[in-house]
Amino acid sequence: MRQLTLNGRGSPGVWTVFMVALAATATAQPPAPLSNADVIDMVKAGLPESTIVNAIRSGPAHFDTSAAALIALHQAGVSSSELDAITSSGQRAAGNGAGAPVPSDGAGPRWRLPSAALLKGGSTQELPLEKAQLAQTKTKPTSMSALASDPVTTQAMQSGIGIATNQIAGQMNYGVGSGVVQGAGAILSTMLSTHKNTVTYVWGVVGPTSATMLHTTLPTFAVNFVQTPGVNPAEYAPQIVKLTPAQNTCRILGATEGKEDARSTPAADWQMYSGFVEERAAVTSRELRPGEYEVTPSSPLLPGEYALVLRPLSRNKKFSGADVARGQGDGQMFQVVFTFSVPIDAT
């Protein structure tokens, strides 16, 4: 090998520097794409929101933007602006190539998860978005207390075993991420049969009490589900429902009857809400636009467990059982829940 020369003389020092620089260039690796976990780490480290948003927008990224993953990000403290940046990054990667601009009509992100906040004075308190679990039982939905005392229902809620959900995911081609399937809520088939028997589907929230405690009996909430994916916001409105504690393991939201194989049917032919059993609190709603409301109880709430939910305006609206099981389209609306507690000393 010929030695590098400088001004006609051998210069081992220059040669060494050159080789070190060449090796560094050859071994340098591009920065690893940002992930959901990276964003959560930055939030927990207390980095400014603007810094995190800029990092999401400027660097390479590989985000999981399934419904379940976005809910997990939201629950970890990731802000709306950071979530918007994450979903926009996912749209660039999926549809326009990495780094390409996302076409915009000025309306912001194409879709986002529903949100709710308590309005108090000039400030707001955001309510965490939770996922309602779905269990299956043979107990008739005669009352909320009967369902709450059913051990099959409460055990299914507590265990969170996604049996039928995963089976459906393997049978149907919906083009959605596995995260949506995993976050769709648990469906426990307690009595499988070749016959299409009628069973009861029960929605509930795991845990005996809500982490959000209000100190007012007449709260006002701002609810926004304008850009929920696959949903026409004009067909829904927020409601407040009383939750029924069940054996100190979960709280029952509501229930309906359906065929045992309803959850595997893709056709939107299940009129599941016409006979839906739930304990509603009367509310006064102000619609700002389709999918955006301010909601207040019509009378003071008694002490207990409650939830803001999204319900169809028409009792006759039909649903696809497969969408309900997988938590997508209209089916996801029965999973959306914002729980809160009203203590005895609330005023």
DSSP state of 214: -
52 shares its domain with 193? no
**130 and 108 belong to one structural domain:** no
Let me know whether 106 and 130 are in one domain.
Answer: no
Q: Which residues contact 217 (CB under 8 A, 6 or more apart)?
A: 297, 300, 301, 302, 342, 346, 347
Give this prediction's pTM: 0.63
Is position 193 within any domain?
yes
pLDDT in tens, the chain (347 residues): 444 444 444 445 544 544 544 454 445 556 788 899 999 999 888 888 888 888 888 878 888 887 778 878 877 878 877 887 888 776 555 444 333 333 334 444 556 889 999 998 878 899 999 989 888 888 888 888 888 888 777 777 766 543 223 332 333 233 333 333 233 333 333 333 334 688 999 999 988 899 999 999 999 999 999 988 889 999 999 999 999 998 888 899 999 999 988 888 888 999 999 999 999 999 999 999 999 999 999 999 999 999 999 999 999 999 999 888 888 889 999 999 999 999 999 99
Same domain for 297 and 160, yes or no, is: yes
Q: Copy the structure tokens of residue 306.
A: 């409650």
**Final residue belonging to a domain, choices 84, 112, 140:** 112
Q: Is the domain of 312 the same as that of 194?
A: yes
**What gap in Å lies between CA 316 and CA 335, rounded to an integer?**
19
In a domain, 294, yes or no: yes
Q: In terms of domains, do 232 and 293 share one?
A: yes
Q: Is residue 225 domain-shared with residue 269, that is, in the same domain? A: yes
The structural domain count of the chain equals 2
Q: Is 262 inside any structural domain?
A: yes
The domain in which residue 66 lies consists of 36-112
Handedness of CA 245, 248, 300, 293 (dihedral sign): negative
- Specify if 12 maps to a domain: no
270 in any annotated domain: yes
